Amino acid sequence: MTRKDNIFILQNPILKVFISLILVLISSIINLDKFLIVFAFTFLYMIVSPNIYIIWLRTLIKIVPFFISLFFFGIFFRIPFPDQCYLSTRIIHLLLISVYLIETTSIDSFISGKANFYSGFWLKFKFFLAATIHFIPILTTKFKDNRKTHKNIIDIIVLSMENCFMEIHKVEKSVTNELGINKEREKVSLWPNIYLSLLVIIPGLLVLININLVGI
């Protein structure tokens, strides 16, 4: 896959930054068990661009002295070792998201997005928003159905995503009809932006599940 054809490169840069910030916020308020699932999901999410893993690992190697200093600091102030590991894991997760943004978002994409803000960005934003609104109920329904037959949260998420991908073309057709978009005149990257939405929808579902369980 070339850089030009990479699905991450085709994602809307402004939405990408916005959704990444939401992901960081969600990751900071969920408990450890849910955070580890979100971390694993984020890691697997990057599989379409393996180069991100390489750059991420290289960056981790470079900041090993920082983590060593962090653990010495924790020992000095008698901070529990599990808490130190938890903090380090959050930093590693944040670093992965940062590498994803830096490596898949160019200055040119922001410049072109700014230049066509009123004509291009607003149309893409409306398309993305409408597609997400259609997509969330489908994902939620599939998620609830799979929970009845599976107990493993990872299996439930994977199966739900697979089921939802089968509905992508229906969502695209429905949204296109609603907005009256001429596909030949306006090129809206549905697939990349739908894939982008998963980066926050799945963690968001985990937060909702956590809230429901606490309420029970």
Residues in the chain: 216
Q: What is the mean pLDDT of the chain?
A: 80
pTM of the model: 0.68
Query: What is the torsional sign of CA 41, 46, 47, 53?
Result: negative
- pLDDT tens digit sequence for 53-66: 999 999 999 999 99
Query: For residue 215, is pLDDT > 80?
Result: no
DSSP 11: S
The tokens for 163 are 């089921």
Question: How does pLDDT run across 100-156, given as a tens digit for each residue?
Answer: 999 998 755 554 554 444 455 666 666 777 777 777 788 788 888 888 888 887 778
For CA atoms 73, 75, 80, 84, the dihedral sign is positive
CA dihedral 89, 97, 21, 187 (to 10 degrees): -160
Give the tens place of pLDDT for each residue, 154-195: 778 778 878 877 887 787 777 777 665 444 444 456 788 888
Which tokens in the block code for residue 101? Answer: 């943004």
